[in-house]
Each structure stands twice: as C-alpha cells, then as structure tokens.
Amino acid sequence: MNDLIPPIFTGEIALKSSRFFHIALLMSSLALPVGLTLTSAHAASTTATQGAQTDAGAAGKASTGVAPKKGDAAAVTADQILQKAGDTLFPENFTAQIEMSQHKPGAAANVSKMMMYKRGNDQVRADYIFPTMQAGQRILRKEGQIWMYMPDTKRAIKLSPKQSLGGSDFNNGDLMRLDLVQDYKPTIIEETPEQWVLELKARDRTVSYDMIKYTVSKKDYRSLKQEFYTLSGKMIKTMEFTDFKDYSGLKRPSTFLMKSTLAEGVYTHLKYLQFEPNKTLAADQFRSDALAKQ
C-alpha cells in the first residue's frame, strides 16, 4: 500500500510519527499524574511562572524600600504640617480680645487685656484696653517691623521681636510675628500615630528664637506644644496649647501657657476671651500714622 502513497507524503507521515513518539517518551519520563493532560500541564506551568514573577516583583519592591502608605497623613511634608498648623492657630484674618496674666513667686498676678487684629500674613495690631495706665498703647507689626505707640509721648518706638512683651514671658514676636512658615525651615524629627514633632530652624537671626520644637496633633493639625531654644541648643521656654474651642467652625486653643525654664514658678497665661476668624479688616487700621488718631 505504501506504493500508492507518493514519497513526499510518506516522509511526512514518518516525521509526524517520530514527533508523537518523542512526545510520548517525554510524558513517560515526566511521570505526569493520572488525568493530567498536556493542556492542564501547560496551565500549571504558566501559573507557576506567574507566581514566581509575582514573588520576584514583591522582592524587587521590598529591596527598593517602598513601604505601603499609612494614609494621607503619612505623605504630608513638614512644610505642609507647619502651614496647616499655623492656619489653624492664626488664620489669615481675625479679630480677638485677649487677657494676659503674668505669674511670679511671691507676687500678685499682673493682668492686662488687649484687642488684637490680624490682616494677611504681615499686618498685626494689638491695642491695650486694660489696665488704665496702659490703655491707649498700641503695637503694630507691618512689613517685618514692630512699632509701639506711646500716648503720653505721642511717639512710636521701634521694638525688637526678641524683647519681652510688657514684662511677660512672651516676646513681642510671639504675639506680633505669627508666620512661622516665613521665619523658619521645618523638618519632621519624630512621628507617632497621633502626632508629629517638627524642628524649626530660623531662616535668619531677626526672629524671636533660633530653634523651636513644635508638636502637632494629627487630629485637625492642632498645636499641642512648642519648645524654644537658643543657638547653642539650650531650652529657655515652653508653651502649651489647651482649652480647644470652636470659633465659627475653626477649632483652636483658647489658652496659651508660656513657662520659663530658667526661673522656677514663672509663667504667663494668655487667654482668648473672644476670637472671630476671617473678618475683613480695613487697610487703614494698619497704617503707622493712624495709631495716634484712634
């Protein structure tokens, strides 16, 4: 019968028979389990390869140090934390009435009250309204300079941000120079699930402090504590923020407690008796030549 088949086809049949023989021999050597077809064996091989590739990809990611995100808070930068904490503590515009109470061992508390106004990031004004002997004194911060108008002399004198504010534990800059983002370069030095600790280094020597450690809660970017240091690294004061209240939707502390670390028992309470955020204020209110007219 082979004589009836052309030689070329005879060769093809022989070649195909040889291939099937080799496949059968290969299956026999692999000792495939009963019921495992060539198709299922190929699928298993493909799955194993993909699994190996997945494991290799995971190992590659691990080697690059890429960690899974812990949430939006984990990706926030030091600059963003400082900006948001500052916006919560001192919004761009506000009007407030504050009471400052100075405490020293063996002495009665020295209490004063002021009306405070802030317009933008560089215009701050504080007017003494109590006690009577200080009423009429006004402090103005504008264009980086701090001035104090004295009604008895009818003159304004220039103040340093590092000078004590009315003999208290607060410096003039603590109340009048409120833009930490502009004055300090922040770095995250510690982080827990509840808070960040920032290290703020002064951008120049004109600010109140050379370095500040600033603890900020991850809950609404609330300010919790600040520690103030000299250039040599000596801590001189601490400030704690307490009694958080809601002011027209803005949750911020109503009490600032400034303590001296150089003198035991010396501290100053600053309480916000009223606080009205986002109030539009006239530019004329922050003119230096207008201080004596009001």
Provide the greatest CA pair distance for the chain: 134
User: What's the distance, CA 120 to chain centroid?
Assistant: 20
Q: Clarify whether residues 7 and 104 are in a common domain.
A: no
190 in a domain, yes or no?
yes
| Residues spanned by the domain of 126 | 78-293
Q: Clarify whether residues 60 and 83 are in a common domain.
A: no
Predicted confidence (pLDDT) per residue in 8-32, tens digit: 444 444 444 444 444 444 444 444 4
Q: Clarify whether residues 104 and 35 are in a common domain.
A: no
∠ CA 141-288-157, nearest 5°, is: 75
- Burial label for 192, CB within 10 Å (0-12, 13-18, 19+), is exposed
When divided into structural domains, the chain yields a total of 2
| pLDDT value, residue 74 | 54
**Which residues does the chain have with pLDDT short of 70?**
1-74, 294
| pLDDT value, residue 28 | 44
| pLDDT value, residue 39 | 44
Domain boundary among 20, 38, 64: 64
Predicted confidence (pLDDT) per residue in 139-154, tens digit: 999 988 999 999 999 8
